[in-house]
Amino acid sequence: MALVAIVGRPNVGKSTLFNRLTEERRAIVDDQPGVTRDRLFGTVEWTGRTFDLVDTGGLVPRSAERFDAAIREQVMLTLEEADVILFVVDTLTGISDLDAEVAGLLRRAKQPVIVVANKADNTARALDASEFWGLGFEQMFPLSAVNGTGTGDFLDAVVAALPEEPEREEEPDVPRIAFLGRPNVGKSSLANKLLGRTRSIVTEVAGTTRDAVDARLRIGEGEDAREVVLVDTAGLRKKARVRENVEFYSTLRTERALQSCDVAVVLIDGERGLESQDARVLREAEAMKKGMVIVVNKWDLVEKETNTARDVDRMIREKMGLIDFVPIVFASALTGQRAEKVLEVALKVFDERRKRVQTAKLNEVVEAAVRRQPPPSLNGQYIKIKYASQVRDEPPVFAFFCNQPQGVKESYRRYLENRLREAFGFEGVPLTLSFKRK
């Protein structure tokens, strides 16, 4: 999908615009203390086209001492990654020195740049916006991110500026696997190891975004051979060029890769264990209902005693709390130990995620579970689960029909989920249990 990036100095209204366009409430995606961050990444649909939108304002801390450097970085990243750039300025203040500097950097852009003259809340201010033609770009739209005035024409222009979508055959049977994790955890090493070992790289499919290259490879032999797509291997290779702000870059890449994959393979550093950022990516993958695998990489560096793997496994599961259904593979991208195993496990998770459970079997399990432990009553009212059915797959969703759907407690939902996993597996697959009135 094409990527549209919002740039501009602080306080011009970038995040307000982002929220208006994505119509998403600001979701906190990072619960590390002190680094609480607004959502930076979303999807926009307009007249039948969809595109990804990123608010690069997250790159520039509001308290930054070196604004200029941070903004320069924000712009450079955008020049590398985006298909269309939205340069936001403020009609209340007019052209500032920083605006002029950003404009200077953006004039190098090969992609279309659209100037957004924000805070044009009324006609008079929209007229003031004409000064921004002076920035030297071909397209300029006065609008108000706060009240929505002018956003329709503007969005028409954004959509018109998007690159053609390349023809990509829908191949629902070919798993799309993304390697995620912190910088330097070994994602590119693992991808390259696999690309080097598996003989038949079928094709490299170019995506819309510059250099978003998915590599396709075949694993196994003969009848059992299967193809998989490694999402965005170019992003992994290219990373070396993006020296500054690797963190933001990797967040951006992670978001995009997560969105387009079936199975998220999250690498963690065997020497460091599960860190809060790793947990965040895992939670995000779970929220997006992707298949999930954890790879403890750099296993070659870990001093091992008899039960080291078991202990690390347990430690990770304890830290992950509710997401304990994810398979863990101990690997080394450097030596290649269990590199193929990673793909095998990811494939298994892919298959599990498309699995359908027969209604009769499901109800046997649910009935037994309810008999063993009925739902706790709510204000003296019995909660009765009448029957269940799997209403969709990829990702799987189970509907439970009952008399008091809102009375089913989270703890009981967990109980049922665990019984489903015991009976049917679904390893690495987030399950959705929804309770409906019947």
Contact positions toward ligand GDP, by CB under 6 A?
8, 10-16, 57, 118-119, 121, 144-146, 181, 183-189, 236, 239, 297-298, 300-301, 332-334
Identify which of residues 58 and 375 has a Cβ nearer to ligand GDP in the complex.
58
Min separation Cβ 21 and ligand GDP, Å: 12
Is 121 known to sit in a ligand binding site? yes
- From the number of C-beta atoms within 10 Å of its C-beta (0-12, 13-18, 19+), residue 139 rates as middle
Strands (E), 241-346: 263-269, 291-297, 328-330
Q: Are 342 and 350 in contact (CB under 8 A)?
A: no
Is 7 known to sit in a ligand binding site? no
Is 130 known to sit in a ligand binding site? no
Min separation Cβ 352 and ligand GDP, Å: 26
Min separation Cβ 73 and ligand GDP, Å: 16
Min separation Cβ 191 and ligand GDP, Å: 8
Contacts by 232-237 with C-beta closer than 8 Å and gap 24+? 232/178, 232/207, 232/256, 232/257, 232/260, 233/188, 233/191, 233/195, 233/204, 235/211, 236/179, 236/187, 236/188, 236/191, 237/188, 237/192
Is 386 known to sit in a ligand binding site? no
Identify which of residues 39 and 353 has a Cβ nearer to ligand GDP in the complex.
39
Identify which of residues 14 and 290 has a Cβ nearer to ligand GDP in the complex.
14
Distance between CA atoms of residues 11 and 19, nearest Å = 14
What tokens does 240 get?
A: 């070396």
What tokens does 325 get?
A: 């259904």
Q: Which residue has the tokens 């195993």?
A: 341
Min separation Cβ 110 and ligand GDP, Å: 24
Is 187 known to sit in a ligand binding site? yes
Identify which of residues 161 and 295 has a Cβ nearer to ligand GDP in the complex.
295
Identify which of residues 150 and 430 has a Cβ nearer to ligand GDP in the complex.
150
Please enumerate in sequence order all residues whose Cβ is within 8 A of that of 125, keeping only pairs 6 or more positions apart, or say none. 91, 92, 119, 142
Is 82 known to sit in a ligand binding site? no
Is 365 known to sit in a ligand binding site? no
Binding residues for GTP: 8-15, 55-59, 118-121, 181-188, 232-236, 297-300
